[in-house]
Amino acid sequence: MGKSKSFFKIIEESTRALEKIAKSKPSLCAVLGSGLGGAHFEGAKNVLEIPYSKIPHIPVPSVAGHEGKMIFFTIGETKCVVLSGRVHLYEGWSAKMVTLTVRVLLNLGCKCFLLTNAAGAVNPSYRPGSLVLIKDHINLTGEDPTRPEEPHGNPVTFTNLTDLYDPDFRRIIKESAKQENIEITEGVYACLKGPCYETPAEIKMLEKIGADLVGMSTVLEAMAIRYGGGRVAAISCVTNLAAGVEGSKPSHEEVKEVASKTSEKLERLFKQVAKNFK
């Protein structure tokens, strides 16, 4: 049996294939989370949709609410790409494969990423439909996408995650939200592997350690982007109260329903961010 390809070789092959199809090097990328993929980006120019399945090695989501396609377009002078859907650890993917798509775009030349997700509210002051700008995270997955593939392989890099969620990028997002009359707050996001939702006891623990939100994505992508030299910001769409908060019992149907109602607001915000982007 032959030796499997290195992850860096996979990134390179995917990048070259995408480069031939897209013929565009975006400077701003948005990743759309569960149920948030209904954006149309009216008024955008040079729109090109590419299914993930057309790019070698790019994993295709299996969960409802994740479309599995890239949308390239231009807003004002800013070249953008939206990743409509992502894969997760709970689908059986490794930490490296969960982060492959954003790493391919980094390799293509994109350096700024706005990650979005659907999240449960640990903080009871957040209500379904709220947008929360992530200021920090708590990684409870036990995974790190920057870890070498094997001992004595590539050198270990100890990446500094202070101010991982870029303060200047967050400032642009807050200014853009104000221009669009969109209310947005800030909070700390806790990431677990899933797919089971958390127990009420686990939510109480998360609250005690400083989490405002909980979900199953975003964090590994953010770490990989920082590792690759990119800038990152992230927004949670609160789709439900976390388990036990005011008697809540989360379901994926509720997550998708609330997220779809919020996607128009996120689309307006992203358009304004693109216009303000430098």
- The mean pLDDT values, 10 residues at a time, for the chain of 278 residues are 75 97 93 70 84 96 81 92 94 97 98 95 93 98 91 81 98 97 98 95 97 98 98 95 73 73 86 89
Give the pTM. Answer: 0.93
Task: State the pLDDT at residue 44.
Answer: 81
Q: Any idea which residues carry the catalytic annotation?
A: 34, 66, 88, 90-91, 118, 216-217, 240, 252
SS3 (DSSP) at 166: coil
**What is the CATH topology of the domain spanning 7-276?**
Rossmann fold (3.40.50)
Task: State the pLDDT at residue 246.
Answer: 66
Task: State the pLDDT at residue 5.
Answer: 79
Task: State the pLDDT at residue 251.
Answer: 74
Q: Give backbone dihedrals phi and psi of 225, rounded to 5 degrees, phi first.
A: -65, -45
Task: State the pLDDT at residue 63.
Answer: 77
Task: State the pLDDT at residue 4.
Answer: 67
Task: State the pLDDT at residue 3.
Answer: 54
